[in-house]
Amino acid sequence: MAKTSTGIDVGHRTSKVLRGQYKGNTFHVSEFALTENRGGDLDDGWRNLGLPFKPTDARIGLTGRDVNIRYTRVPEVPDWQLRNLMRFEVAEIGDQSGSEVASDFNLLPQLPEVDGEDVVLLAMAREQMLGEQMEGLKQSGGTLDSFSPSAIALYNAWTHYGVVEEDTVLLANIGHDNIDVVISRGPDLLFARNLSGGGRLFDDAIAQRFNCSAEQAEKLKIDIATLEPGAKYETPNHERASRAILGAAGQLLSLLQSAILFCKSQVRITGLKVDRVLLCGGGSALDGLTSYLSSGMNVPVDYFDPFRVVDASSLEPEGAELLDEYKLEAVVALGLATMGSNPAAYSLEILPQDVAKKREFFGGTIWLIAAAVLGVAYLGFSAYQKSKQLDAVETENVGLARRVKDADRVHSATETLLDENEALAGLVDELQGVAGTGEQMARTMEFLDERLPDDFWLTELSSDWSHDKELRVERNYERPILLIRGRAREGTDSTTSQQQQMMAGLRTAMPDAAVLETFNQDLFEIDMTLFAPPPPPAEDNGDGEAEETN
């Protein structure tokens, strides 16, 4: 749920308090109050601030001499280093002024004209002044969220509720003694500053011309003075009052033009050009002011009314009517409440040091202490649990060690048996080879003695422990292979027929033998072994009969 926040803008003529919450891309106003401040200073403003509701979680606006806004260009550095740089600068300014200073900073959006550097917006306020305002807030029954420059509140009111396009806009909140100025390019903030000057310039000019009090001068300004070009004056006093404020209007015009020049020098955007100007604040309601400034600045000048998109339906009829009457003066209060309610808003949050330390303690340090206590408790509990687990593991370890020892003994005995088996297998193979060679040789010689044709004789008969893939004896599985070489006498009839009869007899006499024969006229060669593995089973040829395998 969105946070409900209060924006307080204590001015030198009126004090505006607006309360509500930001949700659904707009602000929902729940309370609004406005009180007059004829005393003209902050103390009177807070004393006269009688509210029908408590301004809790208040974001208080700072303007004029109450706040110092500066711009600093720094290299792109990590956040911790940037905080240290700003801390040093604030400490230096505090030493120069001889007073305690509270501050906050934020980076401007990345500017395409600035390469390799960041532009830091630094806002500072005197601790003594913040303490006086906090005392006034306490007397009103409120609680502090933070202090923020009114110019930053004006910027948030614009980006949240204005018609933001890609052009460059100057917004000016004209109060009685001060002007809050913002220059925004599209949604990006370029410049924010507070200037001395405002509606008092016109009051003083009329008071001097008519030799009257400030109150009477302000009434004449509202009733009869105008800056409208070509205006027709109904009475001589109309003309006198209107001509009297021309000089003040020129000063106001110069202030706004100087703000643009100052922006160019501070942010170093030499080609900056303002496309339009929007006014708000009580001092902007002077008749003809927009036309006068438009003529002097050569850009369109109009009023900024954010309340066209703000939901005020929850207000009582009197409150809604009051807000509608003073909507130009309530823009900064709206921006302050928006910053307090919307965490994503661009913000500067200035806090007195004692408040900042207290929040840091309750917001972070106390949780670190609590975390440390919980950590120690957890470590103690964990140590107890681990001790019990260690005892169980050690007991299990003893049993496992005994099982490992038994397994090692069995493994060692098994390896000894395997070595003995391997040696015996080698001996068996050797004996089998000797016995097999003798048996194979004897059976073959017996066969040849009986079946070798009369006109055939042997040229070679040998046995070798070897391999032959065609005899199904693979490498590394060598077996005794018998080699028979012979020939037939020249002129012997039917040599081929006699060779075939001899081989048929050999296969009949030794059906388990693997035999390879080669006949070349009178020569014949036979390779054979009785120790080949059996041939693979015959494959079915598809018609139910098995094919023979040679």
Helix/strand/coil (H/E/C) assignment for every residue in 32-97:
EEEEECCCCCHHHHHHCCCCCCCCCCEEEEECHHHCEEEEEEEECCCHHHHHHHHHHHHHHHHHHH
Per the CB < 8 A criterion, the answer to whether 57 and 6 are in contact is yes
Beta bridge partners of residue 456, listed in sequence order: 488
pLDDT in tens, 417-462: 888 887 887 777 677 667 777 888 888 888 888 888 888 888 888 8
Token output for 473: 């004896």
Q: Give the separation between CA 303 and CA 280, rounded to whole angstroms.
A: 6
What is the phi/psi pair of residue 40, to 5°?
85, 5
Q: Look at residues 56, 79, 105, 101 and name the one whose alpha carbon lies nearest to residue 348.
A: 105
Token output for 93: 């300014």
Token output for 472: 């199904």
| Strand bridging mode 301-303 / 178-185 | unpaired
pLDDT in tens, 337-388: 999 999 999 999 999 888 878 877 765 555 566 677 777 778 877 878 888 8
| Strand bridging mode 188-196 / 178-185 | antiparallel
Report the phi/psi class of residue 116: left, alpha or beta, with left for phi > 0 and alpha for psi in -120 to 50.
Answer: left
Helix (H) or strand (E) holding 172: strand 168-174
Is the dihedral angle over the CA atoms 83, 88, 94, 98 positive or is it negative?
positive
Per the CB < 8 A criterion, the answer to whether 172 and 284 are in contact is yes
Per the CB < 8 A criterion, the answer to whether 296 and 277 are in contact is no
Q: What's the confidence (pLDDT) of residue 148?
A: 95
Q: What's the confidence (pLDDT) of residue 153?
A: 96
Q: Give the separation between CA 181 and CA 349, rounded to whole angstroms.
A: 18
Which residues are within 8 A (CB) of 8 and not within 5 positions of it... i.e. 6 or more apart?
15, 16, 17, 55, 58, 59, 60, 61, 137, 142, 333, 336
Neighbours of 143 (CB within 10 A): 13
Alpha helices by DSSP H, listed for 284-351, are 289-297, 317-325, 331-341
Q: What's the confidence (pLDDT) of residue 254?
A: 95
Q: Give the separation between CA 65 and CA 43, rounded to whole angstroms.
A: 15
What is the phi/psi pair of residue 520, to 5°?
-140, 85
Alpha helices by DSSP H, listed for 77-232, are 79-97, 127-139, 150-161, 199-210, 214-223
- Residues in the chain predicted with pLDDT less than 50, given as ranges, are 548-550
Q: Give the separation between CA 143 and CA 526, rounded to whole angstroms.
A: 115
Q: What's the confidence (pLDDT) of residue 550?
A: 47
